[in-house]
Amino acid sequence: MIKQFLPNEHVKDVFEIQPEELKSKGIKGIITDLDNTLVAWNVKDATPEIIKWFKLMEDNDIKVTIISNNKEERVKLFSEPLKTPFVYSARKPLGKAFKRAVKKMELKKEEVVVIGDQIMTDVLGGNRAGLYTILVVPIVETDGKITRINRQIERRILSWMRRKGMVTWED
């Protein structure tokens, strides 16, 4: 059970995720979280760097879908200017939104990676759906109320994994 919380990879930020590396793994699609993964949770629009990253993925024929537990208004406001499909009120870590995103992209689950900043939602949900998972460092250390509770649980899980030698990266 504890392995469900372990990502396949850990990176500093989404900018470390490059299309050449994804393609070498047979990846053709990305499911990404929004808040604290792409932008800070309290930033409503994509930054110029994020816009450039989305364009890089598009230029390399890698499909991107945003899935978020946030409300439609928040996710739509961010996603529509990028012309990026999205799923709001995803109820992560439940697998339905992940499976729906894979189906919308018309890809096999082996061709899709999940990127997110939370073990309790993004990594657990992606792993449960049978997808490759990449954990990124949260953009900011502040969080919404529910996420703060998740972070406390995550710290305990990561600490235990570190003691068992399952995690080799630093926070």
pLDDT per residue as tens digits for the range 104-126: 999 999 999 999 999 989 999 99
Q: How high is the mean pLDDT of the chain?
A: 90
Domains of the chain with bracketed CATH: 2-163 (3.40.50.1000)
Q: In Å, how far are 88, 92, 146, 150 from 70, measured between CA atoms? A: 6, 10, 11, 15
Residue pair 159/34 in contact by the 8 Å Cβ criterion: no
Residue scoring higher pLDDT (113 or 4)? 113
In tens, the pLDDT along 44-57 reads 899 999 999 999 99
Position 91 pLDDT exceeds 70: yes
Model confidence, pTM: 0.87
